[in-house]
Amino acid sequence: MRAGYYVGDYTYEVREIPDREPQKDEVKIEVAWCGLCGTDLHKFQGKNGASVVIPPIILGHECSGIVTAVGPDVKYFQPGDRVAADPSFGCGNCEYCQQGLPNFCLERHGVAKGFADYVYPPEKNVYKVSEKLDLRTAALAEPLSCVIHGLDLIQIQSGASVVIYGLGSIGSLMVQMVKRAGAAKIIAVEREPEKQKLAVKLGADTAVDDRKILELAKECNIDVVIECIGLKSTMEQAVKIAGKNAKVLLFGLGDPEQPIEINQFEAYTKELSIYTSYLNPQTTKRAVAVLESGAIDAQSIISAELELEEMGQELETQKHSKTGKVMVRLSGKH
């Protein structure tokens, strides 16, 4: 079968690797679609994603597909099932898993490397998808589950004023979910005019650039700020514009070599609560349910459908990633 590898030194290769049958509680999934994540770009650039990266490594983890075989210990799935996979494995036994925190599992590793014709996650990482949800949209379950976890942490109250930095695929999902959470005012911060239009289309009340938001922050108390870019400058500004008693969610994956600086006295006098969000513990089922409900406009988020062999050029140029979510077509089934 084919698999798309980051092999180090800004190099991507599609390799032929052995296919196999599932073992024990594994579910063999023929991958239909896999989203390109910002962490895949980080890995290609020689940086770590959610974990330390040691190439060669198969990229991709936002995948959906159809079950083709199951291991002897699998109880709830059978060939033909349409599914989405949670790529993050929690052992279930370590001290963090025992506390219901599998994202901090001491043995955590990826179990659904989606840039491949087949993946073999354990049964507990596989979620059924109804016929009313196409598999391309179902591949958004993983990024949406991460968004849901972040929003669980900050608990947006009805009537809140919310600023969201960045209208990439994550910011686009954030706008829609924050709207449904009951926010009274949503301001998107984005420089690109087309993305500003998209923000308003998806539910933002207005979209401004990073200079204008400084002016707006002086006129009203911003209750929640969600940073979905991961740049040092935007993370620092997110803290700066937050109002009194505000919550700040630093969701974007920042560069570990560029730590941010904040005015701790200003944060103290505003009594800020600053959050980060790590992975998607136990939120994938909910993400699938949200997608099945039709609450998310997926079509407006997706910027391109590319073949596995085209991903090397995309990783180098980010031509389509700059404007939205790139979906990698494996089987392409719906």
Predicted confidence (pLDDT) per residue in 117-161, tens digit: 999 999 999 999 999 999 999 999 999 999 999 999 999 999 999
Final residue of a structural domain among 235, 261, 276: 276
Do 98 and 195 belong together in one domain? Answer: no
What's the pTM value of the predicted model, to 2 decimals?
0.96
| Cis check: omega of the bond before 56, within 30 degrees of 0 | yes
Report how many domains make up the chain. 2
Of 241, 259, 276, which closes a domain?
276
Indicate which CATH number applies to the domain containing 217: 3.40.50.720
**149 and 203 part of one domain:** yes
My answer on whether 210 and 186 are in the same domain is yes
pLDDT band at 46 (very low <50, low <70, confident <90, very high): confident
CATH assignment at residue 83: 3.90.180.10
Instruction: Look at residue 121 in the predicted model and tell me its pLDDT.
Output: 98
Q: Does residue 245 fall inside a structural domain? A: yes
Residue type, 64: S
User: For the residues 110-114, what does the mean pLDDT come to?
Assistant: 93
Q: How far is CA 165 from CA 59, 235, 252, 299, 322, in A?
A: 26, 9, 9, 21, 15
The per-residue pLDDT for 307 is 98
- 25 and 129 both lie in a single domain: yes
| Mean pLDDT (the chain, rounded) | 96
Please check the confidence at residue 263 and state whether its pLDDT lies above 90.
yes
- What confidence tier does 104 reach under pLDDT thresholds 50, 70, 90? very high
% of the chain with per-residue pLDDT over 90? 92
Q: How many residues does the chain have?
A: 334
Residues 200 and 183 in one domain: yes
Answer whether residue 2 shows pLDDT above 80. Answer: yes
Pair 189, 209: CB distance under 8 Å: yes
Domain assignment present for residue 286? The answer is no
Query: Are residue 184 and residue 58 in the same domain, yes or no?
Result: no
In a domain, 282, yes or no: no
Residue 288 lies inside a defined structural domain of this protein: no
With respect to residue 295, please indicate whether it lies within any of the assigned structural domains. Answer: no
Indicate whether 212 and 178 sit together in one domain. Answer: yes
112 lies in the same domain as 190:
no
The answer on 198 and 313 residing in a single domain is: no
Average pLDDT over residues 18-33: 98
Q: Are residues 67 and 120 in the same domain?
A: yes
For 247, the domain range is 145-276
Which tens digits make up the pLDDT trace of 180-212? 999 999 999 999 999 999 999 999 999 999 999
Which pLDDT band holds residue 261 (cuts at 50, 70, 90)?
very high
Could you tell me if 56 and 105 lie in one domain? yes
**Cα(43)–Cα(49) distance, integer angstroms:** 6
The yes-or-no verdict on residue 49 having pLDDT over 70 is: no
